[in-house]
């Protein structure tokens, strides 16, 4: 909405102007300031930014003084000379003194301003003022929408670690990544456009947290939601899995819910043994997104595309295939390489599929902000003594190319 300053000492005239602005142009009265003299107007112009200044050209220097026909023209020149004055986007002069009109008109036109002859008994000035205000409002709204559109992205993607993010950019190899510049945050972000199978062009922004952990993930997630106005947020990479017959290295897990195992009470028994009495907090995935994902998974051709892509970059041999499934995940602050710890975690939820250090931060942030997100990671190890990094690239690339095909087919 535009901000307007009226500088005029005639109450009846101010009332008429307000009627046009508020009633005819739908500008809230709160968006209009009024000054009764040149000095009062100067103070407001130094203090505030205005889109429009409506200036009477015969004004008193101070409130409660008589108008001085010489002060108005001086103030016109001062608006440009005085560096403390915030020059409004538009200035409209309103004069009811016909004998001064030709001279003032020239001074206004020299500065590309607009002069309107005010006559209480006529409506011409109202029409001219209304047209100017409506045009200014529409123009500002258009500029604002353009800025918002430029900063608005449809989809955000985050990774915790640089090796995961490198594979994400490799997986999206059919698009051109561009580095985004923004001084309002410390993250290196990259953007691209993806045209979906439905012909929609989606603006995507992606970034790397740079470290594991719930807090860091939450900060980047909040940044993408609030600064880039994304509609959906995804996380890809690698994680640990809970050993079972239906999980193998490289398999992709889409988290239908994530719980945090690190909240609770630490208790020491009589023997000196310490145990954690967990207070499980669980956040479900967005229902709409997880439903879309389950539909996508149910079409075998989609996972076939992922397997072909992995073979094309030599991350999967011809004898093996990965699969994708949805299930619950658990999250905490530690790198786990303990079968005992994994068994303890599974006591509380026998259907657990995966474990990582970031997912709860992603889901908690999205839950608080009432946004949509989804966690997709590949099983790189089973958090036991054999834990290693052999499958990191397969999982990182696999989860990213899986997301790429999901976006192409579902949006």
Closest CA to 283 of 329, 314, 223: 329
How much is the pLDDT for 104?
64
Local confidence band at 220 (pLDDT 50, 70, 90 cut-offs): very high
How much is the pLDDT for 319?
78
Same domain, 108 and 180: no
- Please state the rounded mean pLDDT for residues 379-387: 88
Q: Is 277 helix (H, G, I), strand (E, B) or coil?
A: strand
Same domain, 95 and 200: no
Check pLDDT > 80 for residue 238.
yes
Same domain, 121 and 158: no
Where helices occur in 60-157 by DSSP H, the ranges are: 71-81, 101-110, 124-151
Same domain, 241 and 370: yes
How much is the pLDDT for 111?
60
No. of helices (H) and no. of strands (E), the chain: 12, 18
Q: What is the CATH number of the domain that holds 191?
A: 3.40.50.1580
Same domain, 126 and 167: no
How much is the pLDDT for 159?
97
Same domain, 193 and 231: yes
Q: How far is CA 253 from CA 17, 206, 247, 326, 398, in A?
A: 64, 20, 9, 5, 11
Closest CA to 379 of 249, 258, 237: 249
Q: What is the dihedral of CA 25, 27, 33, 38, to 10 degrees?
A: -20
Element at 359 (helix H, strand E): helix 359-369
The lowest-confidence range among 29-38, 265-274, 282-291 is: 265-274
Are the beta carbons of 307 and 321 closer than 8 angstroms?
A: yes
- Please state the rounded mean pLDDT for residues 373-384: 94
Final residue belonging to a domain, choices 126, 148, 170: 148
How much is the pLDDT for 67?
85
How many residues are recorded in the chain? 411
Q: How many distinct structural domains can be found in the chain?
A: 2
How much is the pLDDT for 17?
92
Tens of pLDDT along 43-91? 999 999 999 999 888 889 999 888 887 777 788 888 888 989 998 988 8
How much is the pLDDT for 401?
97
Tens of pLDDT along 78-104? 888 898 999 898 888 887 666 666 666
How much is the pLDDT for 387?
82
Same domain, 33 and 172: no
Tens of pLDDT along 133-150? 898 888 888 777 766 667
Q: Across all residues in the chain, what is the average pLDDT?
A: 88
How much is the pLDDT for 146?
67
Q: Which two tokens stand for residue 17?
A: 């102007």
Final residue belonging to a domain, choices 128, 148, 168: 148
Check pLDDT > 60 for residue 19.
yes
For residue 302, is it left (φ>0), alpha (ψ between -120 and 50) or beta?
alpha
Check pLDDT > 90 for residue 18.
yes
How much is the pLDDT for 190?
96
How much is the pLDDT for 47?
94
Q: Is 256 helix (H, G, I), strand (E, B) or coil?
A: strand
Residue 96: give the domain boundaries: 4-148
Final residue belonging to a domain, choices 148, 175, 196: 148
How much is the pLDDT for 109?
63
Cα gap 136→129, rounded to integer Å: 11
How many C-beta atoms lie closer than 10 Å to residue 340's C-beta? 9
Same domain, 211 and 136: no
Cα gap 362→205, rounded to integer Å: 16
Cα gap 50→388, rounded to integer Å: 62
Closest CA to 333 of 364, 359, 362, 368: 359
Local confidence band at 325 (pLDDT 50, 70, 90 cut-offs): very high
Contacts of 186 (CB under 8 A, 6+ apart): none
Same domain, 177 and 232: yes
Are the beta carbons of 182 and 189 closer than 8 angstroms?
A: yes
Cα gap 12→355, rounded to integer Å: 72
Q: What is the pTM of this model?
A: 0.68
Cα gap 100→179, rounded to integer Å: 57
Tens of pLDDT along 156-186? 999 999 999 999 999 998 899 999 988 888 8
Q: What is the CATH number of the domain that holds 123?
A: 3.40.50.2300
Same domain, 103 and 201: no
Same domain, 205 and 113: no
Same domain, 134 and 209: no
| Beta bridge pairs of residue 5 | 33, 53
Tens of pLDDT along 329-356? 999 888 888 888 888 888 878 889 999 9
């Amino acid at each position: 909405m535009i901000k307007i300053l009226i500088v005029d000492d005639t109450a009846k005239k101010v009332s008429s102007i307000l009627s046009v602005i508020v009633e005819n142009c739908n500008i809230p009265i709160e968006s209009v300031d009024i000054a009764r003299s040149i000095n009062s107007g100067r103070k407001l112009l130094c203090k505030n930014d205005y889109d429009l200044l409506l200036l009477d050209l015969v004004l008193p220097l101070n409130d409660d003084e008589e108008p001085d026909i010489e002060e108005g023209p001086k103030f016109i020149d001062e608006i440009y000379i005085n560096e403390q004055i915030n020059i409004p986007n538009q200035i409209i002069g309103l004069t009811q003194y016909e004998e001064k009109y030709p001279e003032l008109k020239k001074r206004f036109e020299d500065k590309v301003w607009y002069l309107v002859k005010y006559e209480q008994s006529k409506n011409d000035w109202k029409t001219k003022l209304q047209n100017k205000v409506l045009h200014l409002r529409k123009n500002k709204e258009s500029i604002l929408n353009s800025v918002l559109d430029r900063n608005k992205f449809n989809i955000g993607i985050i990774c915790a670690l640089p090796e995961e993010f490198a594979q994400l950019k490799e997986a999206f190899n059919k698009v051109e990544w561009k580095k985004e510049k923004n001084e309002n945050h410390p993250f290196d972000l990259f953007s691209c456009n993806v045209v979906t199978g439905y012909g929609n062009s989606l603006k995507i922004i992606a970034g790397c947290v740079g470290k594991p952990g719930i807090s860091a993930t939450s900060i980047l997630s909040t940044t993408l939601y609030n600064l880039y106005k994304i509609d959906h947020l995804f996380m890809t990479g690698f994680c640990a899995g809970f050993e079972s017959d239906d999980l193998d290295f490289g398999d992709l897990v889409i988290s239908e819910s994530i719980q945090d195992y690190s909240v609770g009470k630490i208790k020491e028994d009589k023997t000196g043994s310490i145990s954690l009495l967990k207070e499980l907090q669980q956040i479900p995935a967005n229902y709409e997104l997880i439903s879309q994902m389950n539909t996508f998974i149910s079409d075998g051709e989609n996972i076939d595309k992922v397997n072909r892509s992995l073979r094309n970059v030599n991350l999967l041999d011809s004898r093996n295939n990965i699969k994708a499934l949805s299930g619950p995940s658990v999250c905490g602050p530690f790198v786990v390489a303990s079968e005992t710890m994994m068994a303890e975690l599974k006591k509380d939820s026998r259907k657990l599929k995966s474990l990582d250090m970031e997912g709860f931060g992603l889901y908690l942030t999205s839950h608080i902000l009432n946004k949509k997100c989804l966690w997709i990671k590949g099983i790189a190890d089973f958090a036991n003594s054999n834990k290693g990094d052999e499958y990191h690239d397969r999982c990182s690339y696999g989860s990213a190319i899986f997301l790429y095909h999901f976006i192409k087919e579902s949006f």
